[in-house]
Structure 1
Amino acid sequence: MVNYNGNLVGNDSSFLNHENRGLRYGDALFETLRVKQSGILFWEDHYFRLMASMRMLRMEIPMDFTLEYLNEQIKQTLQANSLSNSAARVRLTVFRNNGGRYLPQTNEVSFIIETEALDSEEYTLNQRPYEIELYKDYFLAPGLLSGLKTANKAINVLGSIYAKENGYQNCLLLNVNKEVVEALHGNLFLVQGQKIKTPPLSSGCLNGVMRKQLIELLKADDTYQLEEGTISPFDLQKADELFITNVIAGVQPVSKYRKAQYKSIMATELIHRLNKNLEKLSSD
């Protein structure tokens, strides 16, 4: 079952048409959420990022589009798909309603909620070989629009095809200044000694929810020096460790980039801390 504007409809239902602005122009935003026992992890961060993104795209936010309303709609969709007591992945898509060409006839919006089961309620560390490469066919433009989760993800699609064709598990994207920005589906962190570095939002990277959680975790620990700073391709080969973050996988360690091979010490520690914090939140 899929939730379309608060109505539960079958997966095979035709409730969108050729005039959909998400289809025509990528005029849509989405949030990918991880759910544990019907509780949405980091829900407030997702919600406020979505609201800020809608304002930036001049979408009209409905009066009933509250934190509580969308939370309830997500729970109803999970229940309809027998996922209320399971780990699940949820995609919440918001798009501007039909009408107009580049200039929309309205700024009113609709939404879709989709769900699918996940294997584990806790974050687990994937220790399988995970090789990456730079994707250099196209570049991101640094700026706030690049940091939004819009439906216009052509570079991520093409980069994913390139990775599959060449036997890589992921690729890193560069901006027009040839700075490393992020991975195809996650933010990038680099570890060198006691220093941990991640690209700044000004580079064009996604304002990731998991990125925010880990920055807060690391800032609370005096053991490490955290820096939001530019990363060059040359920096990658000097690193002790690289890892990629998103709310579904949590922390994904990179094992190899070209001739460089990496440890996963920090990634292992962060997965442990993350799960511990989530257990504490669940018991509070």
Structure 2
Amino acid sequence: MKSAILPEPLKRGDLLRVIAPSGALREFAALQQSVEIWRSRGYLVEISHDLDQRWGYLANKDEIRRHQLASAWQDPDCRGILCSRGGFGSTRILENWHWPNTTPKWLIGFSDITALLWSLYNAGISGVHGPVLTTLADEPEWSIQRLFDLVEGRPLAPLKGCGWGGGVARGILLPGNLTVATHLLSTPILPNFDDVILAIEDVTEAPYRIDRMLTQWRLSGLFTKVKGIALGGFTKCEAPANIPSFTVEEVLGDRLADLGIPIVSNLPFGHDHPNAALPVGVVVTLDADQGTVSRFMDKYPK
């Protein structure tokens, strides 16, 4: 089992750069509020000059978004990268992409940023599955503090959900958005799933679509490798009106409960808040009897 390298903890005065690697930015006021949260903590936040550009539904052309990411990653003065929003587009800039061999730095985001986080994990570096700059300001105070605890090197409190029974599993935490992760299947971006605790969430996907994706995972054989599953929010995942359907909760139970591995649901991460920050590629303990995810460690204890 291989855990990822955590970047050095951030401290006041560190420079962070804001990039738009995915969808076109629309929530400018929300972004500015979140930038001010970082600045109020003593960080220097540099916003890309072309952050307000768009190319269709994307924040900019692929080569420009790729350059934003590469420039921030290779900047020796930059200690962290704050993603402005999700949407769609990060997978496009990962074609023929290799992470430059520089000092590891923090990469923070979720939703479509899943692709970047998993690609970075493949390079052996941990990122943060957590609020983007268009959502951070709406997070509860405990969630905001958790994000800063993570990047500043303080211990993380356990997360509490609903245990499905099945005992305790320890493995490498791999959090992400189910839809984005499903579209990474059979690509070079998909990590090795041996000994993984898979943490997934989603939003605005009808139950039949969740069913279809989880069935694809079952058929791929990947669920036979993971040691446990942590389920976050599956918000606004209702069936269309007047159409016969299972609920999303019924779909999750039907497609996952027979896997014979520990599962915890209703954990506070994902879309629509709260979105508790999770480190990618660290060792965690998932207790499906107590309904907790805890002991966020950068490596196995001796």
By relative contact order (CA 8 Å, sep 6+), the higher-ranking structure is 2
Higher strand share: 1
TM over 0.5: no
TM-score by length of 2: 0.28
